[in-house]
């Protein structure tokens, strides 16, 4: 993209002064005042600002992103040249963010004329505009053309140019309020195309053999059901069974079952018997000799409770997962961040009003952590996990959540935070009832939370010890944390000594295996169990992690 105009502004002070006043593109105001970054991780360079505290950034592809001082941002041009065309041709452009070409020439020209007359009451813009356009080589465009450029640019803001607060991770609002297509529409586009191909009798093996395309075609068929689809649905069902139990396998079985054909019962039974997961996931399915009406009834029941015909009723995570599978990573990321921001804002309001955060968000937060990790976005996963931890009332769940939080903090290089989280985890092991709402505890009848009664014999206990050593090794690179690292190392040894014989042996074997990977260890972390002096090693595992629940 062209940066011709920006280069001229930097080389010719007189043109730079004209751009700064009256057109409010000031090269000396390029400090935004707070750290920001693109959610995609793409490059971002502040090049100018205005007298309201807004900043103009150039993105990696040359697009210009404007961020105001109120927490909104949007693309205003495909290049600096195009952005300056808009700023010079529409000096009141902030007032036109709600305009679109569909509003018509008469309305656009009237709005621009009104604003520019107000500006002329205070200073000139006409001669200055002519001079700056000539100096920068900008074409003269009509207000209608410029509104078209601005409108098209604004619509490109999300997902690729979603601006975040670099420290807290929250997203800026959109600069405009133009309606956007729903997430599902963009995700389903490929599936609808493939479903058309399948109905035409082509690309059956190509679509069915590709996991992402097959899933999308099934979703497209969910929302566009036709009587003649049964053969292609059978074909997709057979191939989806190869992926074991998935939501799309259940959907395919339901779509086939809704046709109520007796000859499909053996196929459905065969799919159910693929493995243990499919046997559980398709439970309740009629046997091969059942009446077709029973098959249709089973399919309708699942359809009503799990699927339906309106894509807007599907959970967000259906669409973000499918977006990720077809490579629409930024589309998924933007939608997930927006959902996390909504929950975060509610948590802020609850805290401000002295109320506890609502537990209804717990399952969504757990799913958000998982989805962000699938995207490789540990930063946002960490944000979600921090909100998730306080919602856990059962001691086992709190420890599991704290363990995951410590891992995410470690992976983000926040070693001090990870060390503090592990300390909270150990406190919970020592005092399971501390801070918990034990009224809904383990059902022992005493009101005491006994869910951690046998943690020493479980995989959870092993993961706890392994994460202590992982944090100790990685945090040892920060010399300012030397004392804290020693504390974590000692705690790791004490916890290891408390594990049952089998669990301790498993951890020690895992530590021994990873020793070879770290023979040039930068630290010397020993697992002194106090029970087996020969068990000491100098290593840190990268353990598997338990689920958030």
Backbone angles phi and psi of 103, in degrees to 5:
-70, -20
pLDDT score recorded for residue 536 = 33
357 vs 346: CA distance, rounded Å: 8
In the block, tokens 């195009």 appear at 82
- Using an 8 Å Cβ cutoff, are 232 and 216 in contact? no
Q: What is the pLDDT of residue 447?
A: 53
Q: Strand order in 44-49's β-sheet?
A: 44-49, 55-59, 64-67, 72-77, 173-174
pLDDT in tens, the chain (549 residues): 468 999 999 999 999 999 999 999 999 999 999 999 999 999 999 999 999 999 999 999 999 999 999 999 999 999 999 999 999 999 999 999 999 999 999 999 999 999 999 999 999 999 999 999 999 999 999 999 999 999 999 999 999 999 999 999 999 999 999 999 999 999 999 999 999 999 999 999 999 999 999 999 999 999 999 999 999 999 999 999 999 999 999 999 999 999 999 999 999 999 999 999 999 999 899 999 999 999 999 999 999 999 999 999 999 999 999 999 999 999 999 999 999 999 999 999 989 988 888 777 899 999 999 999 999 999 999 999 999 999 999 999 999 999 999 999 999 999 999 999 999 999 999 998 864 443 333 333 345 788 999 999 999 999 999 999 999 999 999 999 999 999 999 999 999 999 999 999 989 988 887 765 655 444 444 443 333 333 333 333 334 444 433
Which two tokens mark 8?
């001229």
- pTM for this one? 0.89
Hey, how many other C-beta atoms are within 10 angstroms of the C-beta on 279? 14
Confidence (pLDDT) at 437:
41
| Alpha-carbon distance values, 484 to 393, 472, 473, 478 (Å) | 28, 9, 12, 10
Helices 211-223 and 183-199 pack at an angle, to 10 degrees, of 90
Percent helix, strand, coil in the chain (nearest 5)?
60, 5, 35
- Collect all residues with Cβ–Cβ distance below 8 Å to 538 and sequence separation of at least 6: 515, 518, 521, 523, 524, 525, 526
Q: What is the pLDDT of residue 367?
A: 96
The alpha-carbon radius of gyration of the chain (Å, integer) is 30
User: How many CA atoms does the CB half-sphere of 436 hold within 13 Å?
Assistant: 26
Give the long-range contacts of residues 341-344, CB within 8 A, separation 24 or more.
341/170, 341/171, 343/368, 343/384, 343/387, 344/170, 344/383, 344/387
Q: How many residues does the chain have?
A: 549
CB 96 within 8 A of CB 89: no
Vertex 203 angle, CA 202 and 209, to 5°: 150
Report the sign of the C-alpha dihedral through residues 175, 179, 180, 182, in that order: positive
pLDDT of amino acid 355: 87
Does the N-terminal peptide bond of residue 22 adopt cis geometry, omega within 30 degrees of 0? yes
Which one, of 85, 187, 91, lies nearest residue 145 by Cα?
Answer: 85
**In this structure, what token pair is assigned to residue 435?**
């801070």
- What distance in Å separates the CA atoms of residue 422 and residue 389, rounded to the nearest whole number? 13
Distance CA 548, CA 389 (A): 9
Q: What is the H or E stretch that residue 100 is in?
A: none
**171 strand-pairing partners:** 164
């Amino acid at each position: 993209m062209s940066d011709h105009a920006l280069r001229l502004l930097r080389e010719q002070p007189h043109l730079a002064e004209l751009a700064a006043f009256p057109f409010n593109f000031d090269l000396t105001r390029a400090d935004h005042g707070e750290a920001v970054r693109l959610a995609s991780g793409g490059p971002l360079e502040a090049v100018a600002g205005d007298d309201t505290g807004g900043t103009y950034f150039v993105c990696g592809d040359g697009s210009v992103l404007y961020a105001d001082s109120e927490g909104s941002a949007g693309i205003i041009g495909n290049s600096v040249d195009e952005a300056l065309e808009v700023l010079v041709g529409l000096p009141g452009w902030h007032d036109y963010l709600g305009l679109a070409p569909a509003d018509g020439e008469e309305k656009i020209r009237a709005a621009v004329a009104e604003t520019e007359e107000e500006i002329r009451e205070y200073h000139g813009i006409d001669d200055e505009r002519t001079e700056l356009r000539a100096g920068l080589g900008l074409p003269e465009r009509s207000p209608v053309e410029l509104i078209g450029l601005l409108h098209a640019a604004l619509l490109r803001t999300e997902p690729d140019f979603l601006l975040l607060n670099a420290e807290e991770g929250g997203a800026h609002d959109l600069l405009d309020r133009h309606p956007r297509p729903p997430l599902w529409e963009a995700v389903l586009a490929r599936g609808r195309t493939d479903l058309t191909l399948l109905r035409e009798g082509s690309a059956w093996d190509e679509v069915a053999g590709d996991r992402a395309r097959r899933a999308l075609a099934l979703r497209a068929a969910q929302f566009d059901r036709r009587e003649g689809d049964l053969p292609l649905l059978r074909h997709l069902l057979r191939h989806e069974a190869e992926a074991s139990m998935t939501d799309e396998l259940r959907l395919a079985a339901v779509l086939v079952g809704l046709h109520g054909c007796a000859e499909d019962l053996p196929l459905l039974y065969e799919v159910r018997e693929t493995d243990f997961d499919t046997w559980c996931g398709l439970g309740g399915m009629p046997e091969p000799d059942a009446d077709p009406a029973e098959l249709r009834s089973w399919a309708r029941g699942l359809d009503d409770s799990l699927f339906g015909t309106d894509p807007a009723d599907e959970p967000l995570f259906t669409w973000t997962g499918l977006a990720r599978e077809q490579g629409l990573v930024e589309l998924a990321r933007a939608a997930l961040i927006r959902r996390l921001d909504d929950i975060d804002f509610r948590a802020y309001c609850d805290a401000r009003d002295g109320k506890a955060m609502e537990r209804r968000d717990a399952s969504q937060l757990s799913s958000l952590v998982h989805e962000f990790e699938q995207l490789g976005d540990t930063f946002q996963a960490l944000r979600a996990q921090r909100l998730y931890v306080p919602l856990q009332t059962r001691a086992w769940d709190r420890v599991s959540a704290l363990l995951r939080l410590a891992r995410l903090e470690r992976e983000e290089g926040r070693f001090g935070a990870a060390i503090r989280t592990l300390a909270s985890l150990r406190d919970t092991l020592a005092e399971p009832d501390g801070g918990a709402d034990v009224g809904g505890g383990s059902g022992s009848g005493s009101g005491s939370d006994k869910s951690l009664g046998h943690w020493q014999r479980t995989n959870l206990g092993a993961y706890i010890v392994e994460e202590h050593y992982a944090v100790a090794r990685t945090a040892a690179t920060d010399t300012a944390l030397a004392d804290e690292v020693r504390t974590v190392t000692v705690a790791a040894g004490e916890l290891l000594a408390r594990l049952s014989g089998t669990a301790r042996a498993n951890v020690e074997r895992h530590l021994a295996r990873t020793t070879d990977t770290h023979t040039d260890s930068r630290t010397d972390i020993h697992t002194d169990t106090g029970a087996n002096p020969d068990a000491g090693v100098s290593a840190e595992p990268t353990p598997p992690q338990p689920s958030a629940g």
